[in-house]
Amino acid sequence: MRQLTVTIPDDFYETFVSFFKHIPDVSINENIENEIPLWQQEMVLERMKNAKPEDYIDADEALKSLKNKYGF
């Protein structure tokens, strides 16, 4: 037997899975625990597209600010 990992668009998922469910000895293992929902991916991409350089802050400065504000 061979193992195959496939990445497909969400709108093809049901058709793809239903096709392979009918093949003997095929198992379908979904790894959804680390999956980021499509709506969230689109939101982040939109925010990145609209962000200006002055909107970004340095990670070290952000951590320093949090430590000062919350005392850890």
- Any domain includes 39: yes
The answer to whether residue 5 is domain-embedded is no
How far is residue 72's CA from residue 68's CA, in Å, rounded to a whole number?
A: 7
Query: Has residue 46 been placed in a domain?
Result: yes
Alpha helix stretches (DSSP H) within the chain = 13-21, 38-50, 59-70
Residue 1 lies in a domain: no
Q: What is the pLDDT of residue 50?
A: 94
Residue pair 1/25 in contact by the 8 Å Cβ criterion: yes
Over the stretch 9-61, which tens digit does the pLDDT of each residue have? Answer: 989 989 988 988 888 888 887 777 777 888 999 999 999 999 998 888 999 99
> Given this model, what pLDDT does residue 1 score?
82
Helix, strand, coil % (nearest 5) of the chain?
A: 55, 0, 45
Whether the full predicted model's pTM is greater than 0.75, yes or no, is no
User: Does residue 2 belong to any structural domain of this protein?
Assistant: no
Say what the pLDDT of residue 42 is.
Answer: 95
Number of domains, the chain = 1
Q: Which pLDDT belongs to residue 20? A: 85
Q: What confidence score (pLDDT) does residue 40 get?
A: 94
Residue 22: give the domain boundaries: 10-70
